[in-house]
Amino acid sequence: MSDPVSSCTARLQLQEQEIRTLSAEIESLKNPQSLSPSPHLEQLRDENTKLKYRLNILKRNLQAERSHCSKHMMNVNLLLQDVFGDAIRASCPELDDPPLVVTPNQQAKFGDYQCNSAMAMAQMLKAKGIKISPREIAEKIIQNLPENDLIQKTEIAGPGFINVHLKRTFVSKLLSNLLLNGVQPPPLASKKKVVVDFSSPNIAKEMHVGHLRSTIIGDSMCRMFEFLGYDVLRLNHVGDWGTQFGMLIAHLQDKFPDYLTSSPPISDLQAFYKESKKRFDEEEDFKKRAYQCVVRLQSKEPEFIKGWNLICDVSRKEFQRVYNCLDIQIIERGESFYQDMMTEVVKEFEGKGLSQLDEGRRIVFAPGQSVPLTIVKSDGGFTYDTSDLAALRQRLFDEKADIIIYVTDSGQATHFQLVFAAAQMIGWYDPQVTRVEHAGFGVVLGEDKKKFKTRSGDTVRLMDLLDEGLKRSMDKLKDKERDKVLTPEELLKAQRSVAFGCIKYADLSHNRINDYVFSFDKMLDDRGNTAAYLLYALTRIRSITRLANIDEAMLRKAAETTEVLLDHEKEWKLGKCILRFPEILQKVLDDLLLHTLCDFLYELATTFTEFYDSCYCVEKDRQTGEVIKVNMWRMLLCEATATIMAKGFEILGINPVHRM
Amino acid sequence: AQKTKVSENDVKPKKEEVAVNGEPKAEQGKSLMEQLRGEALKFHKTGENYTTEGYVVTPNTMSLLKKHLEFTGGQIRTRFPPEPNGILHIGHAKAINFNFGYAKANDGICFLRYDDTNPEKEEEKYFTAIRDMVEWLGYSPYKVTHASDNFQQLYDLAVDLIRRGHAYVCHQKGQDLKGHNAPPSPWKDRPIEESLVLFERMKKGLYAEGEATLRMKMVMEDGKLDPVAYRIKYTPHHRTGNEWCIYPTYDYTHCLCDSIENITHSLCTKEFQARRSSYYWLVNALDLYCPVQWEYGRLNLTYTVVSKRKIIKLVEAGVVRDWDDPRLFTLTALRRRGFPPEAINNFCARVGVTVSQTTTEPHLLESCVRDVLNDTAPRVMAVLEPLKITIVNLPENSRSDVRVPDFPANEARGSHTVPFTRTIFIEQSDFREVMEKGYKRLTPEQPVGLRHAGYVISVQKVIKDAQGKVVELEVNCCSSDSAEKPKAFIHWVSQPLVCEVRLYERLFLHKNPEDPSEVPNGFLSDINSNSMQVIRSALVDTSVKGAKVLDKFQFERVGYFSLDPDSTEDKLVFNRTVTLKEDPGKI
């Protein structure tokens, strides 16, 4: 007993001493004669100066490290931010954390990038009582720009915008690197673990369009993280545990008494579910048995586990058909996986005194949240709150995830907000260190802007939708008489590529937060920002080299020896556009909004068209069609565009074909 | 060559009494070179470093010496390597004198190298002040270099040293390494590859200050284990800016910079003897050209303190005005006091370059100053404590010009004129109302001659104030040709300028103010309260009008004086540089 007493005494003494020091300091502050700051402050200032110095060294080395790995694509925006960051800090040492804004410019006359920090800095200085115009600050920033190899010139525009013109040689060099090394992600400081929880349908229920969105968006996020070099764990958090399994198993026992020895031929699980639900509602005996079954299943009696597995397997097969169509890799780890952990979660909240009883329920109030989480129901059962807390805990501590993302509809936003707040409260993670995020999305609407239903008013089965897509895609190909050009195999490939590519792209190209209107007509249109257009654009670019009789080896040789000239305005525009890929990915990484990537690919395709319309790549004899001259540097630009587009498709989960 | 101990007497010329108007010593300038040549006889010939006792010969030594000789062409190369963190003092003068003097005497070259490896202590003002002083002492460096010029090369060499297995990154804390029996580092035997990676991380800012150092695998003479070569400091450097966050230590930098500059003779004071083996070890560990380190005794002066910290205390306590207060022995103070640089050089030469530590009294330095000033400071007449004299047998408006030679011993060196009128002033001490035996100057009964004027005056009337103090004399004068030769001639002024005169004496009462057995309460308790006396209205003849700061004069029969920078158009301020004789108490 003496130990805690003495340690408490020591703590109290320490606190009292601190109180005395603080009171003394307050007294001395009251005394206007001693204007000299406390020695402690002096010490902290020194420390701060040293830390700033160290930060600068670390940043510089980080930058050096980045540019050393020239194999990797460089984020031009980030490089500019480093350069401007240095200049801004040097121009305004008064500001502790000056704003740093560098954005690409849309209009060529304003240069390639723009730094807009001066205005915000002037505001901040004004608040500190220093009057200085944004233009003056902008001038100072320009004076303080460190030596670099990427900026050609800068100019001040308007109230204090700094327009940045990139060096052509710099852009050209980056393009050559891209051609030689392929699309390499910017270097990653450390390999981080990402858990993406997506798709997550319910066993014994049909997958619907909501699951389609989660599946498409989640898969694309995973692909992006994988490309960037993260260690990604794709988790399918299926609903495989709950009271509904009691009635399903009870019904199974009645309908297929020998289910333990021979697999029951359940083809339509949904019908099976409806039957059992009907009995559950109508037969009192059945209902009782169903409850008993739940208890026996949860106590893991082998017969019941077997029955549960049988039912799950039927659903799994259904799901897998969808995943095969959409080329989705995912690991199933349903709610049942977390069963035992839920008990521990409850214990932990109880043990730390963070939960309370409320009319028989055990609830948890997280700071700043008006609604509590229910972690134990009054009947002793667990809830989604409990299972999601358990899953989060397992992902943080067992999977050691650095980033955890939940891709579900926005309707669950509040639920996840509560779960995250509770997890932070109990100290499972620090949001400064670990990124735990709910990436919500809006609902799918029909073309009538109403909830997406079949004509008869039923929920649309996902498989039916995909089949419809295939059919529409084939119709479109035949309309264009592609069936006459392509071999049957090529035609089939094109059909799948267009159908699933369009479904995915239509989803991804809209801001996921908004509701989205599902329309086959729109997604299959080969004009505008659609997969159809982009897929055609890519095959067309690929065909340019093919028609000029240039093979991969020749392109590679050219990339080594030929400088990518960027003298023509459209060449310059295209070159810069290509190199924006890393900064686009950075943005998507930050906000998880994949439509930015789609917009970029569309912009790249249209920029390419502008380039192709005004710059000859291959000159041919008008009569014979013979190739007279190949402008190799332009072929390289074509190749670079195609490489980036292909990589973009890969991240979006769209599978381009060589011919269509 | 054998290094023999040279005793002080061998090199110190016999000290002679310097007469008030004594002959200048012609051989003075020569003695410096002679002394140096004496020492130089004991030094190795360039390229023959191995002939020096204690020099370490490795299998590479001969080829490295050959290359070194090709580079230098056999020229002697020395360096003066001050840390730019303080003001130079008389002790540094010896280092400057020895390094520059030795090179000069042998047609060699000498570098001024700032050992600026500690960014925390350096200030721009020290750099210019050091250079100023070197130039003031009459030397011009062959080249001004900085240890920091070599930061990149030093870093690369450190990497090389790790690769060769001679250095490692250590994480022992600074406080664990203090004291005598510091425990050996547990990281000494870590793999080379690991140290290479960690050293790079130190450079990239991945450690906090004190979390890692680079240490060399060697034991110093004093038993110190594995001296530190690099430490982390998140402090900008005045020359390299924010480029570095690891800085090399003296032990690591010094010998390598010597080697890089192909120094032939690395001359340093005795304290560095304990670091000679680490010096040789490091350059040899890296297979670089190895200079010869030669230690000489440090010059210590009595009745003063020279350490930066102590001078700061004196300034803060208001004992002295600033770093250049003429009572101090910093070089700026000596300059302000009027010490000519030649005198300081001569002094260094007189003290000589010996192996043993020399403690010298300030009067030796002062005597060197007198020697130089006697030959260079023009004579003028000044009266510090005036007594008014009215010559009654001269007409009211009588005025004549008196020619005064600048150097009475050699009138060919020029002269100036001063007015002579009915009213003149003499020193109060040159008149006594009551005659005393042996007193040769003015009394009511005894006439006295006026220097240069050609007159002898005799007292007619003594005028006193109410307190009985003599305030004026009325005298008759006659030409010295007609009068009997007086027993003495005194100086005087007429129609003089009023000036301020500052008289200095030793700042401390005891010989060794820092020695607790002599001064138990610390050097601040040992201040001589009469160390500065200010006379606000002294009178000086008009010939000094227009003198520039630091112009030096002999005030005849009073002492040597130098014009202080505090002087204004309206009022000149003179510092007494030295008295005419060693003991001003005697008359």
Contact A51 B206 (CB under 8 A): no
Pairwise CA distance, residues A255 & A245, whole Å = 15
Instruction: Please report the pLDDT score of residue B25 as a whole number.
Output: 37
Contact B209 A50 (CB under 8 A): yes
Intra-chain end-to-end CA distance of chain B, in Å: 52
- Flag whether residue B206 sits within 8 Å of chain A, measured between CB atoms: yes
Instruction: Please report the pLDDT score of residue B23 as a whole number.
Output: 33
In terms of pLDDT, which residue wins out, A268 or B449? B449
DSSP string, B362-419: HHHHHHHHHHHHHHHSPEE-EESSEEEEEETTS-TT-EEEEEEESSTT-GGG-EEEEE
Instruction: Please report the pLDDT score of residue B40 as a whole number.
Output: 57
- Flag whether residue B204 sits within 8 Å of chain A, measured between CB atoms: yes
Q: Which residue of A has its CA nearest to B234?
A: A50
Compute the nearest-CA separation of A467 from chain B (Å): 57
Pairwise CA distance, residues B248 & B228, whole Å = 8
A264 confidence band (pLDDT: 50, 70, 90): confident
What integer best gives the mean pLDDT of chain B? 88
Q: Tens of pLDDT along B393-435? A: 999 889 999 999 999 989 999 999 999 999 999 999 999 999 8
Q: Which residues pair with A620 in a beta bridge?
A: A627
Using alpha carbons, list the distances in angstroms from residue B103 to A79, A198, B276, B281. 52, 81, 22, 26
Q: Tens of pLDDT along A444-484? A: 999 888 888 877 777 788 888 999 999 999 999 999 888 89
Q: Chain B contacts of A53, Cβ < 8 Å?
A: 234-236, 242, 245
Contact B204 A57 (CB under 8 A): yes
Percent of chain A predicted with pLDDT > 70: 98
In terms of pLDDT, which residue wins out, A635 or A622? A635
Contact B234 A61 (CB under 8 A): no
Phi then psi dihedrals of residue B112, to 5 deg: -100, 110
Residue B526: DSSP 8-state: G
| pLDDT exceeds cutoff 80 at B177 | no
Instruction: Please report the pLDDT score of residue B22 as a whole number.
Output: 32
Instruction: Please report the pLDDT score of residue A67 as a whole number.
Output: 60
| pLDDT exceeds cutoff 70 at B170 | yes
| 3-class SS string, A152-191 | EEEEEECCCEEEEEECHHHHHHHHHHHHHHCCCCCCCCCC
Q: Tens of pLDDT along A134-152? A: 999 999 999 999 888 889 9
A105 confidence band (pLDDT: 50, 70, 90): confident
User: For chain A, what is the largest distance between any 2 Cα atoms, rounded to a whole number of angstroms?
Assistant: 104
Q: Tens of pLDDT along B362-397? A: 888 999 999 999 999 999 999 999 999 999 999 988
Kindly compute the dihedral angle of the four CA atoms of residues B278, B283, B285, B289, in this order, to the nearest 10 degrees.
-150
A404 confidence band (pLDDT: 50, 70, 90): very high
Instruction: Please report the pLDDT score of residue A268 as a whole number.
Output: 78
Of B206, B209, B242, the CB nearest to A56: B242
Q: What is the ipTM of this complex?
A: 0.78
Contact B245 A57 (CB under 8 A): yes
The b/e string for B197-214 (b: 16+ C-beta within 10 A; e otherwise) is ebbeebbbbbbeeeebbb
Among A264-268, A344-348, B75-79, the minimum mean pLDDT is found in: A264-268
What integer best gives the mean pLDDT of chain A? 90
| pLDDT exceeds cutoff 60 at B4 | no
Q: Tens of pLDDT along A151-208? A: 999 999 989 999 999 999 999 999 999 999 899 888 776 789 999 999 999 988 888 8
Contact B204 A61 (CB under 8 A): yes
Instruction: Please report the pLDDT score of residue B105 as a whole number.
Output: 85
- Whether B502 is catalytic is no
Q: Chain A contacts of B234, Cβ < 8 Å?
A: 50-51, 53-54, 57
Looking at chain B from residue 215 to 274, which residues have their Cβ under 8 Å from any Cβ of chain A?
234-236, 242, 245
Q: Please name the residues in contact with A159: beta carbons below 8 A apart, sequence gap of 6 or more.
A: A118, A119, A134, A135
Global pTM reads 0.57
Which 3 state secondary structure label does DSSP give A403? strand
Q: Which residue of B has its CA nearest to A47?
A: B234
Instruction: Name the active-site residue from B308, B313, B321, B581.
Output: B308
In terms of pLDDT, which residue wins out, B130 or A547? B130
Contact B242 A50 (CB under 8 A): no
Among A95-99, A470-474, B69-73, B473-477, the minimum mean pLDDT is found in: A95-99
| pLDDT exceeds cutoff 70 at A32 | no
| pLDDT exceeds cutoff 50 at B12 | no
Q: What share of chain A is helix, strand, coil (3-state, %, to 5)?
A: 60, 10, 30
The b/e string for A556-573 (b: 16+ C-beta within 10 A; e otherwise) is eebbeebebbbeeebbbb
Pairwise CA distance, residues B19 & B22, whole Å = 4
Contact B245 A61 (CB under 8 A): no
Q: Chain A contacts of B206, Cβ < 8 Å?
A: 58
Q: Chain B contacts of A51, Cβ < 8 Å?
A: 234
Pairwise CA distance, residues B552 & B339, whole Å = 9
Interstrand relation of A403-409 and A435-441 (parallel, antiparallel or unpaired): parallel
- Whether B308 is catalytic is yes
- Flag whether residue B391 sits within 8 Å of chain A, measured between CB atoms: no
Residue B149: DSSP 8-state: G
Compute the nearest-CA separation of B205 from chain A (Å): 6
Q: Tens of pLDDT along A232-261? A: 999 999 999 887 889 999 998 998 888 887
Compute the nearest-CA separation of B309 from chain A (Å): 21
Q: Which residue of B has its CA nearest to A64?
A: B204
| pLDDT exceeds cutoff 60 at B10 | no
Contact A53 B242 (CB under 8 A): yes
A546 confidence band (pLDDT: 50, 70, 90): confident
- Whether B239 is catalytic is no
